[in-house]
Structures are given as C-alpha cells and as structure tokens.
Amino acid sequence: MSKKNAITPTREEDYASWYQEVVKAADLAEHSPVRGCMVIKPWGYGLWENIQRILDKKIKDTGHKNAYFPIFVPLSFLEKEASHVEGFAKECAIVTHHRLEKKDGKLVPAEDSKLEEPLVVRPTSETIIGEMFSKWIESYRDLPLLINQWANIVRWEMRTRLFLRTTEFLWQEGHTAHQTKKEALEEVFKMLGEYKDFLENFLAIPVIKGRKTEMEKFPGADDTYCLEAMMQDKKALQTCTSHFLGQNFAKVSDIKFSDEKGNLEYAWTTSWGMTTRVIGALVMVHSDDDGLIVPPKIAPTEIVILPVIHSDEMKQKILGFCEKLKKDLQNVLYHNKNLVVEIDTRDIRGGEKKWSWIKKGVPIILEIGLRDIENESVFMLKRFNLEKKSVKTQDFIKNIKKILDDIQSEMFEKAKKMQEENTQEIKSEDEFYSFFKSKKAGFAKGYFCLGPKIEKKLKDDLSVSVRCILEENFEEGTCIFCSKKTKTKAIFAKAY
C-alpha cells in the first residue's frame, strides 16, 4: 500500500476540503451548472437507492403507504401557518410564469403567462398534503392516516455543499393524522426509533436522540425530535427529524373528523423526514484519508473482483474463474438482498484500478491472478482497515456474510467510540467556553434551563448550538449558564 494518502488534503490538514475531495474521488456527486443543485452520480445514487430500499421497507412494515403530491405549493397554502411561512419564505424557488416567448430576439417569460397566484416549488409538503387530508378524513374510522412520499425538495440556499446543503435535495416525508395527541406522539417516537435503527444498524452511524429547542424546531411544529450524529471533525449533524405538529396544521388545513360520539374534532398530525444529507453524514463519519468507506449493508456493490492478467493466454482462465466466483457470490443472500459483485475489466493500470475502488469505499476488493487460482484462494483487501490476506476461495464464500457483518459492526463500534470519547459532561460556563474554544471540541453535555437568551448568546459567542434536549429523567441540577435549577440536560455542539 502506498505511504502517501489518496486524498489531499487529509482530514487533519483541512477537513472541509478533505470532504469535498472524498466526494469527488468516490465519484458520488458533483456540482451542476444550476446554482446550488448537485448531480448525484451512479455510485452516490446507488447509496441512495439502498437507503430508499431499506427505509421504505421500514416505513411500509409500520403500516404507512406511499403516495405522491404536487411539487408546487400555492403561495396562499404556505401562508396559512404563520411560523411555517416565516421559516421558509426566505429560501423559496418561485414559479411566476408558464410560457416563454421571443422578445427582441431574446427568450423571456411571456408577460401574459404570468400566474395569478405564484407557486412555490415545495420546500416541504405539510400544507399541500394537509389540504388533501382534510378531504380524505371524515370520521374516526379514517384514522390513523399514514402516508409517506419520496420526492425532491427545493430550498434556496446561499452557501451550498454537496449532500450537506443543496438547493435541491431528495428525501422521504412521512405525514400522518391521528385521533388523539397520545397516538400522534407515539407515531413521532415510533418513526424516530425506525430512523435510529436504520442509522445505527445500516449506516453504522451512532446517534443521540433528543428534542429541539423552540429556536431550532420545525416552523409550525409543537415539538421537533431529532437524531444527532458526530462527524470526524467532532461537529454535529442532524440526521433526521420527527415532528409533533399538534393540531396546528389540522386547524389551518381544516383536518377534522367526527369521533365515536359524533363530535367534530381536529386531528393531531405528525411529519418526519430523512434526506440525501445522510450521505454526507456517511462520508464524514466513515471515510479516511484514502477516501470513502461504505458500510457493507448499504454498499451498491459489496465485492469487486480485479482479475490480474499478465498475458493473453491466461486471460481466458482467469476471467472464467472470476465469472464463476461472481456467480457463486451473487447467490448469497445478505440481509434480504443478493450480494452485488462486479468484475472490473477496464483496460487501465492495476494500481490505478485498485485505488479507484479503495477511494469508492467498496467493502471488499479481491485480486485474482493465476497463482491464486492454482492455490484455490483469493487475495482479499478489506477497505475498512486496508487489511490484506490470502483466503481459500471456499472459505471466503462460506464466510462472506460474517466477514461483511464484522466489518459493519467494527465500523459502528469505531464511530460509537469516537462519539463517546468526544462527549464531555460540563458543569460551568467557564468550562463550557474553554471547551468550545479548544480546537477539537466535540459534544458538551450538561444541565440547561432552556433560556433562549443563553441559547442566542452561545451561538453569537461560540457558534455553538443546542443540538438536542435529552429525553431521560435526570435528577435536579443547576443550569451551566445561570443559577436556575433544572432537570433538563442538553447536548451542545458546533454543527453542520
């Protein structure tokens, strides 16, 4: 293995540039000529397809059905909920015309095609889906209504970074309506639980569960719950949210049902979502200075086979062996899906070829030359730790599921350890300030009275935000920042 790293700069040298370089080296995505919009390339989209496949099953297994709603939200809909429109007004793509015409030789929006009411490209769908819910729900028998949508979303961002913050992104958004507050809250936590299982057991990203402060919650929600993850630069990234919307959207969209006694009541609604942003988290949690490392359970291709061919006469034999091996491996069912194996026969240098796969983070690379075939073995490289060894072919096939599962667990454990080692219990304001003035500060945990002025000051002074309020029952203690007694602890961090 080369001493020099495949990615320049390294994480240590310049984390932000390292991230961009990993995304590029792994061929995940790139900027498009459209301001702030990205192109998700096949390897990156393959990750998203696996995320969709696994999450979609979870969403369906918990009783939700997929549907599709319009991409456009009329301005008057967005305006219905005051804090909702406040939250999104500054970042809307607005459609104002529906025809182009030539004017002085230039193509321009035709004046007479101006819309009476402008349409906003959906920044989220609560109001448009709420309108449909109000038509679909009449009686308690229609509840719960459990709907999910896979869609593209547009929020006009001024400063964009691939996957982490883009003007257009892909997501799923769950929208549900319930008869009681209790049921709606159960839904909020159920889906948060599904997200946690998905993040930890499939993406190998350990997360901290909690509630957002008033300042950080979703515009229009009563409460927003989230899962926060620690990146390798110790900053936090919100991986998903689950919102308890109370009766706010039911009231503005008139989602009413008649209960068992015939009384007309407002429904209780929720919404919850996960976006292509988690691919950014995946990159930042798992990659190293040689590129991306993909957890096996989410890899578009789990195993790549590199035939090592030095002469034309051995070509046939080696390729035949590789095809047979590929077939045997593709018959293995790994977590409800057949393994995907690729043979890379590109006509480029062997080293370049191998490194292209290391940078892409494929879990297992097999090099196969004549000697390996004679020894009935394969030369295996685990991307996760770059460990290399020769293994008997039959043992490799027999053990492949365990090999992959072990990599998966090790990746999770490594990330978990980093998160734990970089989370510090903080008792005083001084300690807090000096913690966050140190270069490699991670997560701070401590008592917090939830005072919004304090929250604002921490942002201004340190660029630190309250990531979440922990849900556990703590004994009473004293707020880090004031003398107030509280039972509430929070996680603080700099964040993406």
Nearer to its own copies, 163 or 225 (CB): 163
Nearer to its own copies, 33 or 351 (CB): 33
Q: Which residues bind its own copies (CB under 8 A)?
A: 32-34, 37-42, 45-46, 48-49, 65-75, 77-79, 85, 89-101, 107-109, 118-121, 128, 131-132, 141, 147, 151-152, 154, 156, 168, 170, 346-347
Q: How far is the CB of 276 from its own copies (least distance, A)?
A: 9
Query: What tokens were used for 252?
Result: 């503005």
Q: What is the rounded CA–CA span in Å between residue 381 and residue 86?
A: 52
Nearer to its own copies, 12 or 33 (CB): 33
Q: How far is the CB of 159 from its own copies (least distance, A)?
A: 14
Q: What is the rounded CA–CA span in Å between residue 482 and residue 448?
A: 8
Rg (CA), the chain: 26
Task: For residue 332, give Cα distances in angstroms to 49, 341, 357, 374.
Answer: 20, 11, 22, 24
Nearer to its own copies, 42 or 320 (CB): 42
Q: What is the rounded CA–CA span in Å between residue 76 and residue 131?
A: 12
Nearer to its own copies, 49 or 471 (CB): 49
SS3 category, 66:
strand
Q: How far is the CB of 68 from its own copies (least distance, A)?
A: 4
Q: How far is the CB of 375 from its own copies (least distance, A)?
A: 33
Nearer to its own copies, 336 or 483 (CB): 336
Nearer to its own copies, 283 or 444 (CB): 283
Q: How far is the CB of 198 from its own copies (least distance, A)?
A: 20
Q: How far is the CB of 460 from its own copies (least distance, A)?
A: 24
Q: What number of other Cβ atoms are within 10 A of residue 280's Cβ?
A: 24
Q: How far is the CB of 426 from its own copies (least distance, A)?
A: 38
Give the helix/strand (H/E) hosting 103: strand 100-103
Residue 152 and residue 45 in contact, taking contact as beta carbons nearer than 8 Å: no
Nearest to 124 by CA among 163, 164, 169, 67: 169
Residue 147 and residue 114 in contact, taking contact as beta carbons nearer than 8 Å: no
SS3 category, 45:
helix
Q: How far is the CB of 346 from its own copies (least distance, A)?
A: 8
Nearer to its own copies, 85 or 378 (CB): 85
Q: What is the rounded CA–CA span in Å between residue 475 and residue 333?
A: 48
Q: How far is the CB of 163 from its own copies (least distance, A)?
A: 12
Task: State how beta strands 423-425 and 443-447 pair.
Answer: parallel
Q: What is the rounded CA–CA span in Å between residue 143 and residue 50?
A: 31
Q: What is the rounded CA–CA span in Å between residue 447 and residue 492?
A: 11
Nearer to its own copies, 21 or 290 (CB): 21
Q: What number of other Cβ atoms are within 10 A of residue 460's Cβ?
A: 9
Query: What tokens were used for 467?
Result: 């990531």
Query: What tokens were used for 271?
Result: 């919404």
SS3 category, 233:
coil
